[in-house]
Amino acid sequence: MTPAARVAAAIDVLDRIADGDAAERALTAWARGSRFAGSKDRAAVRDHVYDVLRRRRSCAALGGGTDGRALMLGLCRADGLDLSELFNGTGYGADVLSESEAAFDGAVSGDDALDLPDWLIAVFRASLGDDADQVAGVLRHRAPVMLRVNLADCTVDHAIERLAEDGVSVEADPVARSALRVTAGERRVHLSDAYTGGLVELQDGSSQAAVDELPLKSNWNILDFCAGGGGKTLAMAARVPAHYSAHDIDPNRMKDLEPRAKRAGVSVQSVTREALADAYDLVVTDVPCSGSGTWRRAPEAKWALTPERLDELCAIQAGILDEVAPLTTRIAYMTCSVFDAECGDQVAAFLARHPDWCLSIERRWLPGVAGDGFYLAVLTR
């Protein structure tokens, strides 16, 4: 595919998203109907689409509209690309610019530059203060690809060497002892021997840093209550060989945990809600949240979030904390949010409801070069 054809394809996908399709579903539908597109073409179209979703408001301002064509026009203008080459009307390329499109003199100013919905700008500033605009700016760009070295099985240096053999360039990152940041060859990670052999896992740097902060002991019974895919369970098990259990309200999210644990050489027991004990030494709750710290990876979410949904999430978080409190004497409360309502305010409300508990550790990571926005509070009874 030519660069112009890739732009035209991205326009088509963006229009599908505007009609109600999720981004990944729209990209999959386009790819299935475009068998001529190679892997590099699919990757390029995906990058275009996600770049627009991260910067939808500023792209609309520069493109003069909110349909797929206007958004891609805005993205190309923002990136300083030659519009006459990308909108040339030849082959599978997008139609030539109209006189009004060519003459449009859009500009990004004021709140448009933050690429946030209006109502969220106030939430960002109330939660982040002087860092609000900077964090919003970070979320406009792609996230780093981070790997966690399985330190129970190999050293960081050995993992770097093994990845290099398969064309994946990485460098150690100080955000966590096990963290590697991919600098080239990110699409080869899943095929590398280091990955398939369990030496490394994909895991965000801030998430790794949070696991490093947890108080873990080898004789403990530890429950990951909102386990999802089990990334934090595996990270804890690589750090300390304790007794690990994993639970999620949707067991399908944990379907890959057993093979991943086997690959990593660790033991994890999946448990149902009915089988939960009341004698865990630590319960980890990486609760459902807005995901505002991860919007570089899931940019659709920042345009879909509403005040009502945020309130609903906060109620779910409070309910989870109250539910696990009788099971343990230690709770690790985690969110990938940058909002006070889901972080410090939620912890303060729990402590007010449960005066026999106290806060022993509190950490906050903002989105940056090594990871997403993340929050950790360790509560002790």
pLDDT tens sequence across 290-332: 999 999 999 999 999 999 999 999 999 999 999 999 999 999 9
Q: Where in the chain is the domain with CATH 3.40.50.150?
A: 205-380
Q: What is the pLDDT of residue 324?
A: 96
Overall average pLDDT of the 34-55 stretch: 94
Mean pLDDT score of the chain, rounded to an integer? 94
Q: What pLDDT, on a 0 to 100 scale, did the predictor assign at position 97?
A: 93
Q: The tokens of 228 are what?
A: 């999802």
Q: Looking at the predicted structure, is the pLDDT value of residue 266 above 90?
A: no
**What pTM, to 2 d.p., does this model score?**
0.92
Half-sphere exposure of 326 (CA within 13 A, CB side): 5
In a 13 Å sphere around the CA of 240, the CA atoms on its Cβ side amount to 17
In this prediction, residue 203 carries a pLDDT of 94
**Of the options 3.40.50.300, 3.40.50.970, 3.40.50.150, 1.20.120.450, the CATH number for the domain spanning 205-380:** 3.40.50.150
Q: Is 90 exceeded by the pLDDT of residue 207?
A: yes
pLDDT at 87 over 90: yes
pLDDT at position 267 over 90: no
| pLDDT cut 70: percent of the chain above it | 100
The pLDDT of residue 274: 87
Q: How many other C-beta atoms can be found within 10 angstroms of the C-beta atom of residue 105?
A: 6
Q: Cα–Cα–Cα angle for 77, 81, 84, nearest 5°?
A: 95
- Cβ atoms of 176 and 144 within 8 Å: the answer is no
146-202: CATH number: 3.30.70.1170
Q: What pLDDT does residue 206 have?
A: 96
Q: Where in the chain is the domain with CATH 3.30.70.1170?
A: 146-202
Is-contact 284 240, C-beta < 8 A? Answer: no
pLDDT at 16 (0 to 100): 96
Q: What pLDDT score was predicted for residue 313?
A: 98
